[in-house]
Chains A and B, each alone.
Chain A
Amino acid sequence: MVPIEHYLVLSVILFSIGILGVFIRRNAIVIFMCIELMLNSANLAFIAFAHYLNSMDGQIFVFFVMAVAAAEAAVGLGIIVALYRNRETINVDDINLMKW
């Protein structure tokens, strides 16, 4: 029986890798993929607790997190495509119109 701390440590590691990706990468789509990785690490924490506390609330919440993530992915990629149409680049360093 794997103790719950191991699942939570895996969730923490995946979350930190996601945050690292958001800082390091310059491509807007890869940054978006790292955000999805962070959402998945939170899902893992929910399901781990749902298993260890004999509850189904965690699994229901993961269902809603996935629905929200899907909606966010659609709209976010629409924004990225519109950005590419206007600026011909999706390197976040070049999208600096509002930078002082």
Chain B
Amino acid sequence: MEALLFYSFAGVAVISSLMVIFKKNPVHSALFLILTFFCLAGIYLLLNAQFIAAVQVIVYAGAIMVLFLFVIMLLNLEREVASPGGHGLQKLSAIVLSILLAVSLGSVMTAKFFTGIKGAYSPEKVNAIGNSEVIGRLLFTDFLLPFEITSVLLLIAIIGAIILAKKKL
């Protein structure tokens, strides 16, 4: 059952990400990327990461992609016009090289036997306490410094976005 769900989510994710890069209309690309994010959220649920799956749908598909769609519609983009000048060789070599990258990385992933020291948070223990609560406890105890630095990073992003949007500095 888990295998069936994983392979169907994975298949849809790969096909829709291929549609992202091959569709000419940027709105269609954005919609297929949203579909990819939903498939990834389903896979996160299979991997017992319920909080991250919810955050993926809310933040990535619900905020970041909506921002992308706002900008695409604000700039009123149409179908991508093919630029003059030979890009054929660049596109062909890009396809060949990315297939080569996928094959070489994939062969490393399937050749090695991944093992490591197993941590303390087995799925039964995490589900007994609650996934969000475990993440909350870790964020506020072990990972407090990155948490606070992330808040400063978001403040910097807000200031940067406002300055970029001003007409006169």
Residues of A within 8 A of B (CB): 1-2, 4-10, 12-21, 23-27, 29-30, 32-34, 36-37, 40, 43-44, 47-57, 59-60, 62-64, 66-75, 77-82, 84, 90-91, 93
Give the distance in Å from the alpha carbon of A82 to the alpha carbon of B119 in the complex: 47
Give the distance in Å from the alpha carbon of A13 to the alpha carbon of B3 in the complex: 18
Interchain CB contact under 8 A, A66 and B110: no
A71 — nearest CB in chain B belongs to which residue? B157
Interchain CB contact under 8 A, A78 and B21: no
Interchain CB contact under 8 A, B98 and A12: no
Give the distance in Å from the alpha carbon of A53 to the alpha carbon of B120 in the complex: 9
The prevalent SS among residues of A at the interface is helix
Q: Which residues of A contact B29 (CB under 8 A)?
A: 30, 33
Give the distance in Å from the alpha carbon of A25 to the alpha carbon of B80 in the complex: 9
Determine how close the nearest CB of chain A comes to the CB of B103; give it in whole angstroms: 9
B53 — nearest CB in chain A belongs to which residue? A47
Interchain CB contact under 8 A, B126 and A56: yes
Interchain CB contact under 8 A, B135 and A26: no
Beta-carbon contacts under 8 Å, B114-151 to A: 114, 116-123, 126, 134-135, 138-139, 143, 146, 150
